[in-house]
Structure 1
Amino acid sequence: MHAIRVASAALLTATVLTLTIPPASATVTGDENNSNVTSFGFRVTPSTIAAGGQVTLSVDGCEGDTKVTSGIFDDAHIPKGQTTTTAQVFWDAKPGAMYEVTFDCKGEIGKTDLTIATGRPDDDGRRDQGHQPPAQKGVKAGVGGSLGGLDLHEIALGSALILGAVGTAYYKSRRRTGENNS
């Protein structure tokens, strides 16, 4: 009888924990033969930008000049000894589109993506930088119940709380049954 209770509690705990863990996902970009590993580091900051915005192009560990190209901004150049430059994204960039950014360090190529943010452009397709949207009043609803912002620390803490609650319930039920049989 005792083994059935322990097995039931273990199965219930495993089921609850399995259902509370967010699914893992991995995305592989680029060709199957090209893992986009380079001897130098590169990045575009921010990785999502509004049309007409300015991005910072950064490179680390390149011992020569770096040429940065993309179909969404004019070609940029990072001279030897420097690590960053800026580029202005074209105003006619398509919202929601993803553009490839190529870093060329002495013939070695690295690629990353730049996403154009969606939003409400003005009538002529350009964003009015001087006009601020009115302040929001009241509650702005979000994506309730979403697991998008959880990290490993929060998952471990939640799991510990669940295990503690199940363990306490099991202990109390065992203690109570023992008192009734005396």
Structure 2
Amino acid sequence: MKKINVLYFSFRWLSFLVFLVVISLFSLSWGQKKFSGEDQAKVQKILQLIEKLEKEALEPQPRPLKEIVLTEEELNAYVAYRLRTDRVEMLQDLQIKLLDNNLIEGKAVFDLSGENLPDFVPRTAVVFFSTVFRVEGGRIHFDFKKIFLGTQELSIDFVSEMIKQIAIAHQAPPEGLNRSYALPFGLKDIKSRKGLAIFYY
């Protein structure tokens, strides 16, 4: 029984890490804050684009779709900026790799040193994942393909079910891993190519 309880706890912990990765992709708040470093120009470019999109969203008018193209490096610089200015609990680093056909691969590093966890749980956890996204009905939908904790592959279905149970325990909607999010700033579509993200508005 003790072994079963330990395994159950560890799977809950693993799925919670993945849950944090998913939330981080779309919950890092927007807004301008001071940032210094070699990626400042990349970050400033994105902040200016966000400001432009917000203004245009307030004045909707019929027109052909426009597009904004951002590089993988620019997006990762912006994620790093948000992690420095808006602390996300336990999430230490998040990097994404953009591929063709709306495929994203990612790496997230979690600092668990302040958590009360069993000895077998590493204090620094590295999660790798791959997911395909699509935009439909004004929302972006994720379909996760692979999740690894270090070198250990985890079952997508099992992780998704555990996330639902954790959400219920925290009185949140019982959504699994492959959830959807409303597109912000009047965006109409998003596509990815190798090293690039194309935003249509």
TM range (shorter): under 0.3
For CA contacts below 8 A with separation 6 or more, give which structure has more relative contact order.
2
Between Structure 1 and Structure 2, which shows a larger proportion of helix residues? 2
Between Structure 1 and Structure 2, which shows a larger proportion of strand residues? 2
- TM-score (norm: length of structure 2): 0.21
